Amino acid sequence: MDAPLRSSRPTAGQHDLVGQLARGEAMLGAGVKRLPASLYTDADRFRREQSTVFANEPLLLGPSALLPRANMAVTHDDYGLPLIVSRDGDGQVHVLANVCRHRGTRLLEADEPVPAARIVCPYHAWAYRADGRLAAVPRPDCFPGLVKETMPLARFAAMESGGLIWFSRNPDCDFSGVSVLEADMEAFGLSGLHLYQRRTHEVAANWKLVIDAFLESYHVQRLHAATIATFFADGITVADRIGRHQRAVVGRTDYLARLDPDDWAQIRRAATFTYHLFPNSVIIVSPDYINVLLCYPQDVGHTRVEDLMLIPEPPQTNEAEAHWRKSWDLLDGGTFGAEDFRAAALCHQGLASGLIQEVTLGTLESGIADFHRLLDEALD
């Protein structure tokens, strides 16, 4: 089975990157770089990242496929705030506080999407619409002077673009830095995909160690020798940036050189795109499915990582289910869980010992240095 994703054509940037890959112009950083180990282990640094970057930047909440229909809602707690992500009757996305305006009760409890034409508080049954407006109050005579229009759920700045849902704690957040991704995401048909699986991993590592694993290809032939290494050549990666987001592509160079560079479907089968969405998310585009990884920092040495796999449509046959299950197991359980996340946790153990003061980055790891430079700029 080899169902292609619904996709139209590459963007000019994607086209250029694949051309570089086909010509064998593998990316090499300028030289060896070093980063202080304390970037990953210092609790004050972690708190500063939270109070500056995570408190102000647009943060990814998940793919649009989380809410495939109008009047649906799902809880989201992993950024340390009780949120409801909802889609109203017109299809518009909202990010709301999961906190009743009456006396503060949590409104939705389950973490699976639920119908939300009415969100009813379990305590005294105040009812809200999917856009957060207060719709009904039982025994309104007990609340003389209460004006429902002035009592909506607290609302956060939010944007849906290119099949992704973003929010920010900062009400004045500028989302232009994420809307620049829309064309690339639409080239993969992201907004029309079906959510096949999602799973949360608890990783005993600083969040940046998880991100780092997706910013270099040096480890692929070593760490992933038993899983995905055979799909890739050693160290053949090209990358560039869209704003602060990193876009990289790996592939079989010899094969790509023989392909029509305008045949997107063929290219998609021979090249794998990876995006680091600043600051804390990763998108990996396999030939016929996409994984979205969201890293939620919980503490300086603890990251919750959510993996969501998107496929073109719900499996219609046992054969299709077996096909997607095999891909899910290969990446989520094998490649990510048992390899990338394990390596991040082992790395954190070593750095937390305090026995080395710096990490050393080779020329195939320059994407990591780039990410940390951009993060430092955001912290300032």
Binding interface with ligand FES (CB under 6 A): 100, 102-103, 105, 121, 123-124, 126
In the complex, least distance from residue 102 CB atom to ligand FES, rounded to whole angstroms: 3
Burial profile 92-107: b = 16 or more Cβ within 10 angstroms, e = fewer: ebbbbbbbbbbeeebb
In the complex, least distance from residue 110 CB atom to ligand FES, rounded to whole angstroms: 17
In the complex, least distance from residue 127 CB atom to ligand FES, rounded to whole angstroms: 9
In the complex with ligand FES, which residue's Cβ is closer, 75 or 217? 75
In the complex with ligand FES, which residue's Cβ is closer, 123 or 313? 123
In the complex with ligand FES, which residue's Cβ is closer, 143 or 175? 143
In the complex with ligand FES, which residue's Cβ is closer, 125 or 225? 125
Task: Give the Cα separation of 246 and 178 in Å (integer).
Answer: 12
Amino acid letter, residue 206: N
Q: Specify whether the CB–CB gap between 37 and 29 falls below 8 A.
A: no
In the complex with ligand FES, which residue's Cβ is closer, 102 or 302? 102
In the complex, least distance from residue 106 CB atom to ligand FES, rounded to whole angstroms: 9
Pairing between β-strand 134-136 and β-strand 127-128 as defined by DSSP bridges: antiparallel
Amino acid letter, residue 269: R
Q: Residue 188 — φ and ψ, nearest 5°?
A: -95, 5
Task: Give the Cα separation of 107 and 84 in Å (integer).
Answer: 9
In the complex, least distance from residue 103 CB atom to ligand FES, rounded to whole angstroms: 4
Q: Specify whether the CB–CB gap between 303 and 348 falls below 8 A.
A: no
| Alpha carbon distances (Å) from 117 to 19, 73, 111, 148 | 48, 9, 17, 17
- Cα dihedral 192, 197, 200, 204, rounded to 10, equals -100
In the complex with ligand FES, which residue's Cβ is closer, 21 or 134? 134
Task: Give the Cα separation of 264 and 202 in Å (integer).
Answer: 36
In the complex, least distance from residue 139 CB atom to ligand FES, rounded to whole angstroms: 11
Q: Specify whether the CB–CB gap between 275 and 282 falls below 8 A.
A: yes
In the complex, least distance from residue 128 CB atom to ligand FES, rounded to whole angstroms: 10
In the complex with ligand FES, which residue's Cβ is closer, 45 or 102? 102
How buried is 13 (Cβ within 10 angstroms: 0-12 exposed, 13-18 middle, 19+ buried)?
Answer: middle
Q: Specify whether the CB–CB gap between 78 and 306 falls below 8 A.
A: yes
In the complex, least distance from residue 96 CB atom to ligand FES, rounded to whole angstroms: 14
In the complex with ligand FES, which residue's Cβ is closer, 102 or 199? 102
